[in-house]
Structure 1
Amino acid sequence: MEWYNVGKIVNTHGIWGEVRVISTTDFPDERYQVGNELGLFKTDGSKPIIVKITSHRKHKNFDLLTFEGYTLLKDVEAFRDATLKVSEKYLTELDENEYYYHEIIDCTVISTEGETIGTVTEILQTGANDVWTVQPSKGKAHYIPYIEDVVKKIDVDKKEITIEVLEGLLS
């Protein structure tokens, strides 16, 4: 079974078993819905713990969660720095021109002229639009905005993205 990152537990919150999560999902309300199950992957590499969400709320830049059976601070302290992941069986179909991060990461980026630019290594959320970090085989990374003027074609099956290289984009 494949698992996909949705957030990282960075701390506890209060004394009633709440954890602070920095989300890496575009769908926090869907992923953290009460009753949903997530895999909790601790940093020690042990087998994931399946947790069921009993509450979700926003607080500043964090998502605060509680899990069934973990009601006190002492129950969740060991979860600090753990990664929360969703099982592939819970992934939903996206609208046209929407993609999951795992579909974009590791794609080869080529120009409309056929030149290989590099590989997508990271996706940065800027608020306005996502920006893809593209690492060439040599040299420093390029930052490609996911906008219609630049990204012309995405083929997730071939793991290939075609972009229009606008003036100054790769400098």
Structure 2
Amino acid sequence: MEELFQVGSITQTHGIKGEVKVFPLTDDISRFKNMKNLLLDGGKDGYINLDVENARPQKNLVILKFKGIDNINDIEKYKGKGLYVTKDNRVELKDDEYFIADLIGCDVFTDENPDVKFGTISDVMETGANDVYEISLENGENVLIPAIKDCILKVDIEGRRVDVHLLKGLMD
């Protein structure tokens, strides 16, 4: 099966005409307006292909309406289920933007020792001002590196490699 990426999960129904409230797993909920097709985790029924008819933000959630689902009874059973996109259907990113799922697992190298693996990105924390990459070191310890231009020198998603500069005090 093709690799899938979760973009949200259905929290509850909205009204009686088949709309749902979705908790988005993206930093920009306006991206849902451009999503045409989503895959719903149907549990034992497998993934259900859904065409998005309408999407609108509501506070920190998104209200979605799917084509062909016009009744609360048709969608209610999917509360708590995830919504996914295929890799081909992910939104286009700007330069120097990366999907968290693509960053996790990348090998990290420093500018001081570019031929020796420093660690692996194990998590990305979204702090508001900038993301922070959690690097699992070879010795089992973890280091946090801010995702700013002074620290992140080069990201090669295809090559699964991130080159970083360690600011003074980071490893003390």
Task: Please give the range of the TM-score, normalised by the shorter of the 2 chains.
Answer: 0.7 to 0.9
Structure 1 169/73 Cα, relative in aligned 2: closer, same or farther at 3 Å?
farther
Partner of 2:39: 39
Cα separation, 2, equivalents of 1:120 and 1:71: 43
Is 1:8 aligned to residue 9 of structure 2? Answer: yes
**Which amino acid in structure 1 is aligned with residue 39 of structure 2?**
G
Q: Is the 8 A contact 2:30 2:57 kept in 1?
A: no
Q: 1:134 to 1:17 in 2, by over 3 A?
A: farther
Matched, 1:102 2:101: yes
C-alpha separation between the residues in 1 aligned to 2:145 and 2:70?
43
Q: TM-score, normalised by structure 1?
A: 0.81
CA distance in 2, matches of 1:159, 1:98: 15
- Rounded to whole Å, the distance in 2 between the matches of 1:146 and 1:45 is 39
Secondary structure of 2:101's counterpart equals helix
Alpha-carbon RMSD: 2.5
Counterpart mapping for 1:18-167 below 5 A: 18-33=19-34, 36-42=36-42, 44=43, 46-91=45-90, 93-114=92-113, 116-167=117-168
Alignment deviations for residues 4-36 of structure 1 (CA, whole Å, 9 cap, x no partner): 2212223333333222222223453334437x0
Q: Is the contact between residue 152 and residue 163 of structure 1 (CA under 8 Å) also seen in structure 2?
A: yes
Q: Distance in 1 between matches of 2:141 and 2:18?
A: 43
CA gap 1:67/1:93 in 2 versus in 1, 3 angstroms: closer
1:99, CA displacement in angstroms? 2.1
Question: Kindly, what percent of the aligned residue pairs are identical?
Answer: 31
SS at match of 2:129: coil
8 Å contact 1:124–1:130 — kept in the other structure? yes
- Contact map agreement 1:32 1:65 (CA 8 A) in 2: no
Aligned in 2, Cα 1:123/1:19: closer, same or farther, shift over 3 Å? Answer: farther
Distance 1:169 1:163 in 2: 12
CA contact (8 A) 2:18 2:70 kept: yes
Is contact 1:21–1:62 with CA below 8 Å preserved after alignment? yes
What is the CA–CA distance in structure 1 between the aligned matches of 2:137 and 2:80, rounded to whole Å?
A: 31
Greater alpha carbon shift after TM alignment, 142-151 vs 109-118: 109-118
Larger radius of gyration: 2
Q: Which runs of 5+ in 2 are unaligned?
A: none
Aligned residues: 169
Give the Cα–Cα distance (whole angstroms) in 1 for the partners of residues 10 and 46 of structure 2: 17
